[in-house]
């Protein structure tokens, strides 16, 4: 039954002092009680750590490694939660020699647990030629990768002795694979993507296959680059992300896809997406997102790990700009089983999606700035929000748009709720502030009551988002309750 308009509320009334915009904490104790287990972390997670790699939990611990701005060492930090990595003590597990082989640039380490041992695959140049980059491997028998028991096992030998970097490894259907980027003789590119089966964690088996060459316009900006492969297997398919173009604001991510039952060593099994899947976003002020990895949150949700900068303009070679920061955000999935990356989110706390309890297959989203509820939202960021401090003082919250962070959910009238640019006015603060409670029909959900109005809530009604005074009926209370994901 459609909500009776006589029960709708037209916004009005006074407003107390406006609080600071964009404070990154939920506004009430009730908010913490109602929040579900999810990716509760800040962005950026760790500053000045590029090419980030976060393991899946191993014995209850996450481990993070990545490139340091000095390109001179390999570091690891560990924590029981992803968010804990932000403040975890960092350990240097290996330093480059002062001269000779491996004495040049140290890039893009990845940390993998294989058959009870730890391995770090990394790229290194030589002291007399820092760009003579090849891939090497470290091994440790310790349970904790931060322990000082690492041994250099040598170079990962590929078909050609050429520029080689960004190695990763994954297991699929009983086989372990090695994926990497390399410059192949006879092909006029900086690097292409290759795949081979592994004979052991230290050696390849058989001939490598070339999976991708940078040819599309967004892959050849500045440099012709395919690099940084990362693999996730979901929904009957093997997805391999990779990064392309120069390492400035043009850096972006592409996607290769194969059927999980196919022969992964047959290049014909893979399809390249014609457009990039993750790119610079001016609205969120995130530039050059890329070189990603995947992990899982504490609740098992998939997590995208990547680096990006907070500014576009760079002085000098972007390779030596130190401010590529490690960032994490939840990875969602479209109804067709393909990954939904959204946009690189700006600075701040956790991002959430809201599903109305009376139709949980839908998500609250904005379309032409008006709030609605829909299914299979392909523009993921249209349905993502941050719950931040509200504008009516302590105890209130506001809902900030993720892809338009200068806009907040605001009640315009009884049947119109929009995301509108922030205005420093009592009228705006009154219409854009809410009190968050555990869901009226499910305490694991949330309900948003208009600040200062004791009985009026954000509500869902057949794809519309409006305001409503619920009665005691279960259906009424479901309409004003939303699950967070």
Report, as residue numbers or ranges, the catalytic residues. Answer: 51, 227
Give every CB contact of residue 475 below 8 A, 6+ residues apart in sequence. 1, 358
Alpha-carbon gap, residue 123 to 120, rounded angstroms: 10
β-pairing, 175-182 vs 192-200, is: antiparallel
- Reading the block at residue 53, the tokens are 């790699």
- Report the DSSP beta bridge partners of residue 200: 203
Q: Is 319 helix (H, G, I), strand (E, B) or coil?
A: helix
Left, alpha or beta for 83 (phi > 0: left; psi -120 to 50: alpha)? alpha
* Contact indicator for 109, 93 with CB cutoff of 8 Å: no
Q: Is 72 helix (H, G, I), strand (E, B) or coil?
A: coil
Give every CB contact of residue 6 below 8 A, 6+ residues apart in sequence. none
Order of strands across the sheet that contains 252-259 = 226-234, 237-244, 252-259, 270-272
| Closest alpha carbon to 119 in 95, 101, 141 | 141
Alpha-carbon gap, residue 395 to 17, rounded angstroms: 13
Q: How far is C-alpha 373 from the chain's CA centre? A: 23
- Reading the block at residue 80, the tokens are 């029981």
Alpha-carbon gap, residue 372 to 460, rounded angstroms: 8
| Closest alpha carbon to 54 in 21, 28, 77 | 77
- Reading the block at residue 364, the tokens are 């609250």
- Reading the block at residue 362, the tokens are 């839908």
| Greatest pairwise CA separation for the chain in angstroms | 80
For residue 427, the surrounding DSSP H or E stretch is helix 426-431
β-pairing, 457-461 vs 370-374, is: unpaired
273-277: long-range contacts, CB 8 A cutoff, minimum separation 24? 274/216, 275/218, 276/218, 276/244, 276/252, 277/241, 277/253, 277/339, 277/341
Alpha-carbon gap, residue 417 to 20, rounded angstroms: 22
- Reading the block at residue 257, the tokens are 């896809």
C-alpha dist (Å) from residue 249 to 193, 236, 242, 326: 22, 33, 16, 16
Alpha-carbon gap, residue 268 to 464, rounded angstroms: 45
């Amino acid at each position: 039954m459609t909500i009776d308009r006589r029960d709708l509320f037209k916004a009005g009334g006074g407003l107390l002092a406006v609080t600071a915009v964009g404070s990154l904490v939920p506004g009430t104790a009730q908010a913490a009680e109602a929040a579900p287990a999810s990716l509760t972390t800040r962005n950026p997670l760790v500053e000045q750590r590029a090419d980030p790699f976060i393991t899946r939990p191993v014995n209850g611990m996450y481990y993070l490694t990545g490139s340091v701005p000095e390109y001179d060492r390999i570091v690891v930090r560990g924590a029981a939660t992803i968010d804990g990595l932000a403040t975890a003590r960092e350990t240097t597990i290996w330093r480059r020699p002062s001269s000779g082989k491996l004495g040049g640039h140290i890039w893009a380490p990845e940390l993998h647990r294989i058959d009870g041992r730890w391995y770090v695959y990394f790229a290194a140049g030589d002291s007399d030629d820092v760009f003579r980059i090849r891939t090497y491997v470290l091994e440790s028998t310790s349970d904790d990768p931060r322990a000082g028991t690492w041994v250099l096992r040598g170079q990962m030998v590929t078909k050609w002795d050429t520029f080689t970097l960004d190695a990763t490894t994954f297991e699929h259907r009983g086989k372990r694979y090695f994926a990497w980027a390399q410059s192949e003789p006879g092909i006029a590119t900086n690097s292409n993507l290759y795949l081979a089966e592994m004979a052991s964690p230290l050696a390849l088996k058989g001939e490598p296959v070339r999976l991708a060459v940078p040819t599309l316009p967004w892959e050849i900006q500045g440099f012709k680059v395919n690099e940084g492969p990362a693999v996730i297997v979901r929904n009957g398919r093997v997805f391999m992300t990779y990064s392309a173009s120069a390492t400035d604001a043009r850096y972006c991510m592409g996607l290769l896809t194969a059927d999980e039952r196919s022969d992964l060593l047959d290049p014909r099994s893979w399809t390249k997406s014609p457009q990039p899947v993750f790119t610079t976003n001016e609205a969120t002020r995130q530039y050059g997102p890329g070189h990603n990895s995947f992990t899982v949150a504490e609740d098992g949700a998939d997590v995208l790990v990547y680096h990006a900068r907070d500014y576009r303009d760079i002085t000098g070679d972007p390779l030596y700009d130190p401010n590529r920061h490690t960032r994490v955000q939840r990875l969602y999935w479209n109804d067709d089983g393909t990954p939904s990356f959204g946009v690189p989110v700006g600075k701040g706390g956790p991002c959430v999606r809201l599903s109305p309890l009376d139709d949980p297959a839908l998500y609250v989203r904005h379309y032409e700035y008006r709030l609605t509820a829909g299914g299979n939202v392909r523009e993921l960021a249209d349905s993502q929000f941050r719950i931040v401090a509200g504008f009516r003082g302590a105890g209130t919250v506001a809902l900030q748009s993720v892809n338009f962070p200068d806009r907040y959910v605001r009640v315009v009238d009884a049947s119109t709720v929009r995301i509108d640019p922030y205005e420093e006015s009592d009228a705006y603060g009154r219409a854009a502030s809410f009190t968050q409670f555990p869901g009226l029909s499910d305490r694991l959900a949330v309900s948003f009551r208009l600040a200062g109005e004791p009985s009026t809530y954000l509500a869902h009604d057949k794809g519309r988002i409006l305001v409503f005074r619920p009665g005691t009926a279960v259906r009424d209370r479901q309409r004003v309750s939303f699950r967070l994901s």
